[in-house]
Structure 1
Amino acid sequence: MGSAIKLYTRGSWSHASIALDENLEELYSFSRKYTWNPFIGTFMEEDIEGGVFAVKTETQCMVLKVSVTDEQYASAEDIISRFKANRQAYGYSVLGLIYFMLGRPRYSNSKYTCAGFVTHVIEGAQVAEFEKHGSLVQPDDFMHLDAEVVYEGLIRDYRRSLTWTVGRMAANVI
């Protein structure tokens, strides 16, 4: 599915998630409900060491860090907590992918694509605003945010890179 999305969009990335912490322990998106079935998706708390990422060990990722105020962070937490509390009410927007390919927005309060969900949280928390409807945002569009690229590489190596960075910073402080 990811390869098809990248082929269609001609982008570098096929998936987007949003994290509320640096370790990506609190990582959320709309993605596969079942590891081996790319066609059934829902709101997911993703695990970079489990699920699809445990199977697809060569998955490349880019982690962007966006500075937010305490109010924006609390708002993003609130939006995500509503999804967590009502997860059965949400599903992956397969129809949204078709609308996306037609260049038409898909209006739904219960069906999202991965990028549509991340856009919903970012705009809902007033972190940034996109020039197009959230259902038309694609993963590469997040690279245009006022953000710092903190990591690019294999997702399986992300947490080890943090340990190395923290260790290196501590060594430089001493």
Structure 2
Amino acid sequence: MKDIYLLLSRPGTVVGNAIKLYTGGEWSHVSIALDENLKELYSFSRKYKWYPFIGAFMDEDIEDGVFGVKTETQCMVLKVKVTDEQYALVEDIINRFRANRHAYGYSILGLIYFILGVPRYNNYKYTCSGFVTHVIEGAKIAKFEKHGSLIQPDDFMHLDAEVAYQGLLRNYRSSRKWTQRRMGPA
């Protein structure tokens, strides 16, 4: 058994605030990580931290980019237990996106379709939630009842997962070090 991590966040950007206002949810963004320290963190998000209208498949960094600027970002980290086979599938799916990142883009139309409640079918354009759903379903970890383009960040809270952390994103790594020291030998 292995773990993957889902980072649900609320950076407080204009676009994020609009998404949160529309959905009525707690979270406006979701990313997926292959490690507890969130070093291998992926999503579809803005390409440039100061310009929200160009998005892409991104290797995210909780200390840089939008997260580095928005230091009051609230988050919840979900720890999802997966089999070795599911973990390998997650890695494979993400590696395909990494190898072909130039082929993918952020689905601005997907946001419009989401607002209208209409599924958007496009294998090369994703929102953050659509991408994470694609990975979760592709790795056979869970199956959602609605189309991936209609999933919102709060929907991931219904997965069989453990809340590993909730609070300011900037404090996440230091809280993990404290937990590891506390649990280590006396």
Shorter-chain TM-score bucket reads over 0.9
Q: Percent identity?
A: 77
Q: Distance in 2 between matches of 1:43 and 1:34?
A: 12
Q: Distance in 2 between matches of 1:128 and 1:21?
A: 19
TM-score normalised by structure 2 residue count:
0.92
Task: Give the letter aligned to residue 143 of structure 1.
Answer: M
User: For 1:50-100, what per-residue CA distance to the aligned partner results, in whole angstroms no more than 9, with x for missing partners?
Assistant: 111110000001000000000000000000000000000000000000000
Whose strand proportion is higher, 1 or 2?
2
What is the CA distance between 1:44 and its match in structure 2? 0.1
The aligned residue for residue 91 of structure 1 is 105
Q: Which one of 147, 150, 174 corresponds to residue 133 of structure 1?
A: 147
Task: Give the letter aligned to residue 74 of structure 1.
Answer: A
Which structure 2 segments of 5+ residues have no match? 1-14
Q: Distance in 2 between matches of 1:30 and 1:113?
A: 6
Task: Give the letter aligned to residue 15 of structure 1.
Answer: H
Matches within 5 A, 1:34-53: 34-53=48-67
Whose helix proportion is higher, 1 or 2?
1
Q: Secondary structure at the match of 2:81?
A: coil
Q: Secondary structure at the match of 1:54?
A: helix
Task: Give the letter aligned to residue 148 of structure 2.
Answer: G
Which structure 1 segments of 5+ residues have no match? none
Q: Secondary structure at the match of 1:141?
A: helix
Give the paired residue count: 172
